[in-house]
C-alpha cells in the first residue's frame, strides 16, 4: 500500500536516497535530513498511513514502535535516554503525511515549557 506522491513511500521503495539505519519487512528507519539533535532518526512503516490516527493496524503499530529500541541500541542512546515524537496533523505541525516516529537523542533535551507550546510560543508568528 503506497502513495506514489509520498516522499517517505519513495524512500521505503529505495527510489530516493536516505541514510538508512535499520530495515526489515515492515519498517524502515533513516536519519532525518535536518537533524534537531546529534541523533535524529525517523521510523516509518513501509505501508502508507498518513499519521498515527489513520486506522493503522495494531500489528503495524507494533512493528513501528518495536523498532524504537533497535534504533536506540544502534545509535548508542539507549542508556542515556532519548525522546520519541509523533507529530499528528495540522495543530502538531506535521509536515510529511506518512506516519513516522522521530527518535531524538545524543544530548540533553529540556522538557517543553510555555515558551515552546501554545499560542504564545516564541517560534509562533504572532
Ligand atoms: P514532521 O514535521 O513531524 O512531519 O517531520 C517530518 C520530518 O521529515 C522533518 O524533520 C524533515 O526534516 C524530515 N524529512 C523530510 N524529507 C526528508 C528526507 N527526504 N529524508 C529525511 N528526512 C526528511
Among left, alpha and beta (phi > 0; psi -120 to 50; other), residue 106 is left
- In a mutational test of the pocket of ligand 1, which residue from 11, 34, 123 has the highest number of ligand atoms less than 8 Å from its CB? 34
Instruction: Read off the pLDDT of residues 64-117 as tens digits, 9 standing for 90 and up.
Output: 999 999 999 999 999 999 999 999 999 999 999 999 999 999 999 988 876 778
C-alpha cell belonging to residue 70: 533497535
Q: What is the average per-residue pLDDT within 8-29? A: 97
Cell 506522491 sits on residue: 5
- pLDDT at 51 (0 to 100): 98
Q: Residue whose CA is closest, atom 15 of ligand 1?
A: 33
- Catalytic residue check, 40: no
Catalytic residue, from 63, 98, 100, 102: name it.
100
Q: What is the average per-residue pLDDT within 18-41? A: 98
| Percentage of the chain modeled with pLDDT above 70 | 98
- pLDDT at 115 (0 to 100): 77
Using a 6 Å CB cutoff, which residues line ligand 1? 7, 18, 30, 32-34, 42, 87, 93-96
- pLDDT at 45 (0 to 100): 98
Q: Which helix (H) or strand (E) holds 68?
A: helix 58-75
- pLDDT at 118 (0 to 100): 78
pTM to 2 decimals?
0.94
126: pLDDT strictly greater than 70 = no
- With a CB cutoff of 8 Å and minimum separation 6, the contacts of 53 are 88, 89
Among left, alpha and beta (phi > 0; psi -120 to 50; other), residue 76 is left
Amino acid at each position: 500500500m503506497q502513495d506514489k506522491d509520498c516522499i517517505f513511500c519513495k524512500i521505503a521503495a529505495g527510489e530516493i536516497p536516505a541514510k538508512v539505519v535499520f530495515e526489515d519487512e515492515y519498517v524502515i528507519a533513516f536519519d532525518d535530513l535536518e537533524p534537531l539533535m546529534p541523533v535524529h532518526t525517523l521510523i516509518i512503516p513501509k505501508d502508507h498511513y498518513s499519521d498515527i490516527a489513520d486506522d493503522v493496524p495494531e500489528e503495524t503499530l507494533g512493528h513501528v514502535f518495536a523498532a524504537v529500541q533497535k534504533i536506540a541500541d544502534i545509535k548508542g542512546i539507549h542508556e542515556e535516554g532519548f525522546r520519541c515524537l509523533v507529530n499528528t496533523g495540522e495543530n502538531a505541525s506535521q509536515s510529511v503525511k506518512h506516519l513516522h516516529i522521530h527518535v531524538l537523542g545524543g544530548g540533553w533535551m529540556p522538557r517543553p515549557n510555555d515558551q515552546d507550546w501554545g499560542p504564545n510560543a516564541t517560534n509562533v508568528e504572532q
